[in-house]
Structure 1
Amino acid sequence: MDIPSLAQLKKDLSYLSEKELIDLITDLAKFSRDNKAFLYFKLNERDQPNLFVDAVKEELDEAFQVANTRHYHVAKKAAQGIRRKLNKSLKLSKNKADQAELILYFCEQMKKYDYERHHHPVIDNLFRVQIGKAQKLISSLHEDLQSDFSYRIEELI
Protein backbone atom coordinates (compact mmCIF):
# COMPACT_ATOMS: atom_id res chain seq x y z
CA MET A 1 0.00 0.00 0.00
CA ASP A 2 1.35 3.38 -1.01
CA ILE A 3 0.80 6.03 1.65
CA PRO A 4 0.15 9.45 0.13
CA SER A 5 2.32 12.46 0.85
CA LEU A 6 1.51 14.97 3.55
CA ALA A 7 0.57 17.54 0.89
CA GLN A 8 -1.94 15.10 -0.61
CA LEU A 9 -3.44 14.36 2.82
CA LYS A 10 -3.71 18.08 3.54
CA LYS A 11 -5.50 18.60 0.23
CA ASP A 12 -7.92 15.74 0.97
CA LEU A 13 -8.61 17.13 4.45
CA SER A 14 -9.56 20.51 3.00
CA TYR A 15 -12.57 18.88 1.30
CA LEU A 16 -14.03 17.55 4.56
CA SER A 17 -16.75 19.28 6.55
CA GLU A 18 -16.18 20.47 10.12
CA LYS A 19 -18.09 17.50 11.58
CA GLU A 20 -16.09 15.02 9.48
CA LEU A 21 -12.84 16.64 10.62
CA ILE A 22 -13.87 16.44 14.28
CA ASP A 23 -14.77 12.76 13.87
CA LEU A 24 -11.48 12.05 12.13
CA ILE A 25 -9.45 13.82 14.84
CA THR A 26 -11.24 11.99 17.65
CA ASP A 27 -10.62 8.69 15.86
CA LEU A 28 -6.93 9.56 15.62
CA ALA A 29 -6.85 10.43 19.33
CA LYS A 30 -8.27 6.98 20.13
CA PHE A 31 -5.39 5.20 18.39
CA SER A 32 -2.64 6.03 20.85
CA ARG A 33 -1.93 7.83 24.07
CA ASP A 34 0.63 9.98 22.24
CA ASN A 35 -1.98 11.24 19.77
CA LYS A 36 -4.33 12.06 22.62
CA ALA A 37 -1.58 13.89 24.54
CA PHE A 38 -0.55 15.83 21.44
CA LEU A 39 -4.14 16.90 20.79
CA TYR A 40 -4.63 17.89 24.44
CA PHE A 41 -1.48 20.03 24.53
CA LYS A 42 -2.23 21.69 21.20
CA LEU A 43 -5.75 22.58 22.28
CA ASN A 44 -4.63 24.04 25.62
CA GLU A 45 -1.23 25.60 24.87
CA ARG A 46 -2.68 29.05 24.16
CA ASP A 47 -4.37 29.28 27.56
CA GLN A 48 -1.60 27.57 29.56
CA PRO A 49 1.76 27.84 27.79
CA ASN A 50 3.65 25.92 30.50
CA LEU A 51 1.15 23.07 30.68
CA PHE A 52 3.25 20.78 28.49
CA VAL A 53 6.51 21.39 30.34
CA ASP A 54 4.88 21.00 33.74
CA ALA A 55 3.14 17.76 32.75
CA VAL A 56 6.33 16.22 31.38
CA LYS A 57 8.32 17.30 34.45
CA GLU A 58 5.72 15.67 36.67
CA GLU A 59 5.93 12.46 34.65
CA LEU A 60 9.73 12.48 34.84
CA ASP A 61 9.62 13.12 38.59
CA GLU A 62 7.41 10.08 39.10
CA ALA A 63 9.71 7.94 36.97
CA PHE A 64 12.83 9.04 38.86
CA GLN A 65 11.16 8.45 42.22
CA VAL A 66 10.18 4.85 41.46
CA ALA A 67 13.47 4.00 39.71
CA ASN A 68 15.77 1.57 41.47
CA THR A 69 19.34 2.90 41.51
CA ARG A 70 21.00 0.58 44.00
CA HIS A 71 22.91 -1.45 41.43
CA TYR A 72 24.57 0.02 38.32
CA HIS A 73 22.84 -2.36 35.91
CA VAL A 74 19.35 -1.54 37.19
CA ALA A 75 20.21 2.17 37.37
CA LYS A 76 21.35 2.08 33.74
CA LYS A 77 18.11 0.41 32.64
CA ALA A 78 16.04 2.92 34.64
CA ALA A 79 17.90 5.90 33.16
CA GLN A 80 17.43 4.54 29.64
CA GLY A 81 13.72 3.99 30.26
CA ILE A 82 13.25 7.50 31.59
CA ARG A 83 15.17 8.90 28.63
CA ARG A 84 12.80 7.05 26.28
CA LYS A 85 9.84 8.72 28.02
CA LEU A 86 11.58 12.07 27.64
CA ASN A 87 12.22 11.53 23.93
CA LYS A 88 8.59 10.55 23.35
CA SER A 89 7.48 13.73 25.07
CA LEU A 90 9.94 15.90 23.15
CA LYS A 91 8.24 14.87 19.90
CA LEU A 92 5.04 16.59 21.08
CA SER A 93 6.63 20.05 21.20
CA LYS A 94 8.28 22.03 18.45
CA ASN A 95 9.32 24.77 20.87
CA LYS A 96 13.10 24.52 21.24
CA ALA A 97 13.12 26.36 24.56
CA ASP A 98 10.69 23.81 26.03
CA GLN A 99 12.76 20.95 24.65
CA ALA A 100 15.97 22.38 26.12
CA GLU A 101 14.21 22.96 29.46
CA LEU A 102 13.07 19.33 29.62
CA ILE A 103 16.44 17.90 28.63
CA LEU A 104 18.19 20.00 31.26
CA TYR A 105 15.58 18.99 33.82
CA PHE A 106 16.28 15.33 32.99
CA CYS A 107 20.01 15.91 33.51
CA GLU A 108 19.39 17.76 36.78
CA GLN A 109 17.29 14.86 38.03
CA MET A 110 20.03 12.41 37.08
CA LYS A 111 22.42 14.46 39.22
CA LYS A 112 19.89 14.77 42.04
CA TYR A 113 19.29 11.03 42.18
CA ASP A 114 23.06 10.43 41.96
CA TYR A 115 23.23 8.26 38.86
CA GLU A 116 26.84 9.22 38.27
CA ARG A 117 28.02 7.48 41.45
CA HIS A 118 28.02 4.21 39.51
CA HIS A 119 30.67 5.44 37.03
CA HIS A 120 29.06 3.22 34.41
CA PRO A 121 30.03 4.16 30.84
CA VAL A 122 26.47 3.86 29.52
CA ILE A 123 25.08 6.17 32.20
CA ASP A 124 27.91 8.66 31.72
CA ASN A 125 27.45 8.62 27.95
CA LEU A 126 23.68 9.03 28.26
CA PHE A 127 24.23 12.11 30.42
CA ARG A 128 26.81 13.59 28.02
CA VAL A 129 24.60 13.00 24.98
CA GLN A 130 21.67 14.76 26.65
CA ILE A 131 23.89 17.72 27.57
CA GLY A 132 25.07 17.84 23.94
CA LYS A 133 21.46 17.85 22.69
CA ALA A 134 20.62 20.67 25.08
CA GLN A 135 23.63 22.71 23.96
CA LYS A 136 22.67 22.24 20.32
CA LEU A 137 19.08 23.38 21.01
CA ILE A 138 20.24 26.31 23.13
CA SER A 139 22.59 27.57 20.43
CA SER A 140 19.58 28.24 18.19
CA LEU A 141 17.66 30.25 20.81
CA HIS A 142 17.57 33.99 21.59
CA GLU A 143 20.63 35.38 23.39
CA ASP A 144 18.79 35.98 26.68
CA LEU A 145 17.57 32.40 26.81
CA GLN A 146 21.01 31.18 25.81
CA SER A 147 22.61 32.85 28.81
CA ASP A 148 19.97 31.45 31.19
CA PHE A 149 20.36 27.93 29.89
CA SER A 150 24.16 28.06 29.60
CA TYR A 151 24.33 28.91 33.30
CA ARG A 152 22.34 25.76 34.08
CA ILE A 153 24.60 23.67 31.83
CA GLU A 154 27.71 24.96 33.60
CA GLU A 155 26.21 23.88 36.92
CA LEU A 156 25.59 20.40 35.53
CA ILE A 157 29.06 19.99 34.12
Structure 2
Amino acid sequence: MKTATAKELKTALSNSSQTELLDLCLRLARFKKENKELLTYLLFESDYEAGYIQSIKDEMDEQFEQINTKSYFYIRKSVRKIHNNTKKYIRYSLKKETEVELLLYFCQKLKDFDPPISRSPRLQGVYDRTLLSIKKTIPKLHEDLQYDFNEELEDL
Protein backbone atom coordinates (compact mmCIF):
# COMPACT_ATOMS: atom_id res chain seq x y z
CA MET A 1 0.00 0.00 0.00
CA LYS A 2 1.34 3.40 -1.01
CA THR A 3 1.13 6.01 1.75
CA ALA A 4 -0.31 9.39 0.78
CA THR A 5 1.72 12.55 1.24
CA ALA A 6 0.81 15.16 3.84
CA LYS A 7 -0.49 17.48 1.11
CA GLU A 8 -2.76 14.79 -0.31
CA LEU A 9 -4.08 14.00 3.16
CA LYS A 10 -4.72 17.69 3.86
CA THR A 11 -6.66 18.05 0.61
CA ALA A 12 -8.72 14.94 1.27
CA LEU A 13 -9.49 16.03 4.84
CA SER A 14 -10.51 19.53 3.75
CA ASN A 15 -13.04 17.97 1.35
CA SER A 16 -14.55 15.76 4.09
CA SER A 17 -17.62 16.62 6.13
CA GLN A 18 -17.52 17.19 9.88
CA THR A 19 -19.06 13.79 10.67
CA GLU A 20 -16.55 12.03 8.41
CA LEU A 21 -13.70 13.83 10.19
CA LEU A 22 -15.10 12.81 13.56
CA ASP A 23 -15.34 9.18 12.44
CA LEU A 24 -11.78 9.26 11.10
CA CYS A 25 -10.43 10.68 14.37
CA LEU A 26 -12.25 8.09 16.46
CA ARG A 27 -11.04 5.31 14.18
CA LEU A 28 -7.47 6.59 14.46
CA ALA A 29 -7.77 6.69 18.24
CA ARG A 30 -8.81 3.05 18.30
CA PHE A 31 -5.59 1.75 16.80
CA LYS A 32 -2.62 3.06 18.72
CA LYS A 33 -2.11 4.23 22.26
CA GLU A 34 0.04 7.13 21.00
CA ASN A 35 -2.80 8.35 18.78
CA LYS A 36 -5.12 8.38 21.80
CA GLU A 37 -2.54 10.18 23.91
CA LEU A 38 -2.00 12.81 21.21
CA LEU A 39 -5.74 13.36 20.79
CA THR A 40 -6.11 13.64 24.57
CA TYR A 41 -3.36 16.26 24.67
CA LEU A 42 -4.79 18.23 21.75
CA LEU A 43 -8.37 18.19 23.02
CA PHE A 44 -7.95 18.53 26.78
CA GLU A 45 -4.46 19.53 27.85
CA SER A 46 -3.03 21.84 25.19
CA ASP A 47 -4.91 24.83 26.65
CA TYR A 48 -3.27 24.47 30.07
CA GLU A 49 0.40 23.70 29.42
CA ALA A 50 1.48 24.14 33.06
CA GLY A 51 -0.89 21.40 34.18
CA TYR A 52 0.34 19.14 31.38
CA ILE A 53 3.96 19.68 32.44
CA GLN A 54 3.12 19.02 36.09
CA SER A 55 1.31 15.78 35.25
CA ILE A 56 4.35 14.56 33.29
CA LYS A 57 6.64 15.51 36.18
CA ASP A 58 4.43 13.58 38.59
CA GLU A 59 4.56 10.57 36.29
CA MET A 60 8.35 10.85 36.09
CA ASP A 61 8.57 10.99 39.90
CA GLU A 62 6.51 7.83 40.12
CA GLN A 63 8.63 6.05 37.51
CA PHE A 64 11.90 7.04 39.19
CA GLU A 65 10.60 5.67 42.51
CA GLN A 66 9.80 2.32 40.88
CA ILE A 67 13.29 1.77 39.44
CA ASN A 68 14.90 -1.49 40.52
CA THR A 69 18.25 -0.40 42.01
CA LYS A 70 19.71 -3.90 42.38
CA SER A 71 21.81 -3.57 39.23
CA TYR A 72 22.86 -0.82 36.83
CA PHE A 73 21.41 -2.90 34.00
CA TYR A 74 17.89 -2.45 35.39
CA ILE A 75 18.56 1.18 36.21
CA ARG A 76 19.70 1.89 32.62
CA LYS A 77 16.71 0.09 31.20
CA SER A 78 14.28 2.05 33.37
CA VAL A 79 16.01 5.38 32.73
CA ARG A 80 15.85 4.78 28.97
CA LYS A 81 12.12 4.07 29.29
CA ILE A 82 11.53 7.24 31.30
CA HIS A 83 13.59 9.27 28.82
CA ASN A 84 11.70 7.84 25.82
CA ASN A 85 8.34 8.59 27.47
CA THR A 86 9.46 12.13 28.22
CA LYS A 87 10.55 12.66 24.61
CA LYS A 88 7.19 11.30 23.42
CA TYR A 89 5.31 13.80 25.59
CA ILE A 90 7.57 16.58 24.30
CA ARG A 91 6.66 15.61 20.72
CA TYR A 92 2.97 16.02 21.57
CA SER A 93 3.48 19.54 22.86
CA LEU A 94 5.86 20.92 20.19
CA LYS A 95 6.71 23.83 22.51
CA LYS A 96 10.38 24.48 23.19
CA GLU A 97 9.67 25.77 26.71
CA THR A 98 7.99 22.49 27.59
CA GLU A 99 10.89 20.54 26.10
CA VAL A 100 13.52 22.40 28.10
CA GLU A 101 11.56 22.30 31.35
CA LEU A 102 10.89 18.55 31.14
CA LEU A 103 14.44 17.67 30.12
CA LEU A 104 15.85 19.82 32.93
CA TYR A 105 13.59 18.03 35.37
CA PHE A 106 14.69 14.65 33.98
CA CYS A 107 18.36 15.62 34.40
CA GLN A 108 17.73 16.84 37.95
CA LYS A 109 16.03 13.57 38.88
CA LEU A 110 18.85 11.60 37.26
CA LYS A 111 21.51 13.63 39.05
CA ASP A 112 19.81 13.18 42.44
CA PHE A 113 19.27 9.47 41.85
CA ASP A 114 20.81 6.98 44.26
CA PRO A 115 23.01 5.01 43.44
CA PRO A 116 24.93 7.75 41.62
CA ILE A 117 24.90 7.71 37.83
CA SER A 118 28.60 8.62 37.73
CA ARG A 119 29.41 4.94 38.37
CA SER A 120 27.80 3.95 35.07
CA PRO A 121 29.33 5.42 31.90
CA ARG A 122 26.14 4.71 29.94
CA LEU A 123 23.92 6.55 32.41
CA GLN A 124 26.42 9.40 32.49
CA GLY A 125 26.22 9.44 28.68
CA VAL A 126 22.43 9.73 28.77
CA TYR A 127 22.76 12.60 31.24
CA ASP A 128 25.42 14.37 29.14
CA ARG A 129 23.50 13.97 25.87
CA THR A 130 20.34 15.31 27.49
CA LEU A 131 22.24 18.34 28.80
CA LEU A 132 23.65 18.90 25.31
CA SER A 133 20.13 18.74 23.87
CA ILE A 134 18.97 21.33 26.41
CA LYS A 135 21.89 23.62 25.55
CA LYS A 136 20.96 23.44 21.85
CA THR A 137 17.29 24.23 22.52
CA ILE A 138 17.67 27.14 24.97
CA PRO A 139 18.88 29.69 22.35
CA LYS A 140 15.61 29.20 20.44
CA LEU A 141 13.59 30.58 23.37
CA HIS A 142 12.67 34.13 24.43
CA GLU A 143 15.51 36.00 26.21
CA ASP A 144 13.82 35.99 29.64
CA LEU A 145 13.21 32.25 29.44
CA GLN A 146 16.77 31.74 28.21
CA TYR A 147 18.10 33.45 31.33
CA ASP A 148 15.85 31.43 33.67
CA PHE A 149 16.66 28.10 32.05
CA ASN A 150 20.38 28.89 31.90
CA GLU A 151 20.27 29.53 35.65
CA GLU A 152 18.68 26.12 36.20
CA LEU A 153 21.21 24.55 33.85
CA GLU A 154 24.08 26.03 35.84
CA ASP A 155 22.69 24.42 39.00
CA LEU A 156 23.01 21.02 37.34
TM normalised by structure 2 equals: 0.92
- Matched AA of 2:16: L
CA drift of 1:73 comes to 2.2
- Matched AA of 2:48: Q
Structure 2 runs not aligned, ≥5 long? none
Alpha-carbon RMSD: 1.5
Q: Secondary structure at the match of 2:8?
A: helix
CA drift of 1:148 comes to 0.5
- Matched AA of 2:138: I
Q: Secondary structure at the match of 1:16?
A: coil
Q: Secondary structure at the match of 2:92?
A: coil
**What is the aligned length?**
156
| Equivalent residue, structure 2, for 1:92 | 92
2:22 and 2:127 map into 1 onto residues whose CA distance is 42
| Equivalent residue, structure 1, for 2:155 | 155
- Matched AA of 1:153: L
1:7 and 1:102 map into 2 onto residues whose CA distance is 32
Map residues 74-93 of structure 1 onto 2, 5 A cutoff.
Answer: 74-93=74-93
TM normalised by structure 1 equals: 0.91
Map residues 17-28 of structure 1 onto 2, 5 A cutoff.
Answer: 17-28=17-28
The answer to whether the Cα contact below 8 Å between 2:90 and 2:99 also exists between their aligned partners in 1 is yes
CA drift of 1:71 comes to 2.5
The answer to whether the Cα contact below 8 Å between 1:116 and 1:124 also exists between their aligned partners in 2 is no
| Equivalent residue, structure 2, for 1:124 | 124
Map residues 1-157 of structure 1 onto 2, 5 A cutoff.
Answer: 1-45=1-45, 47-114=47-114, 116-156=116-156
CA drift of 1:47 comes to 3.9
- Matched AA of 1:33: K
1:46 and 1:84 map into 2 onto residues whose CA distance is 20
CA drift of 1:116 comes to 3.1
Cα deviation code 1:93-116 (max 9, x no counterpart): 110000111101101111222353
The answer to whether the Cα contact below 8 Å between 1:115 and 1:123 also exists between their aligned partners in 2 is no
Cα deviation code 1:9-52 (max 9, x no counterpart): 00000111111101111111111221111111111245423232
- Matched AA of 2:75: A
2:72 and 2:46 map into 1 onto residues whose CA distance is 42
Distance 1:46 1:93, change over 3 A: closer
Cα deviation code 1:37-69 (max 9, x no counterpart): 111111124542323212211221111010122
Distance 1:36 1:117, change over 3 A: closer
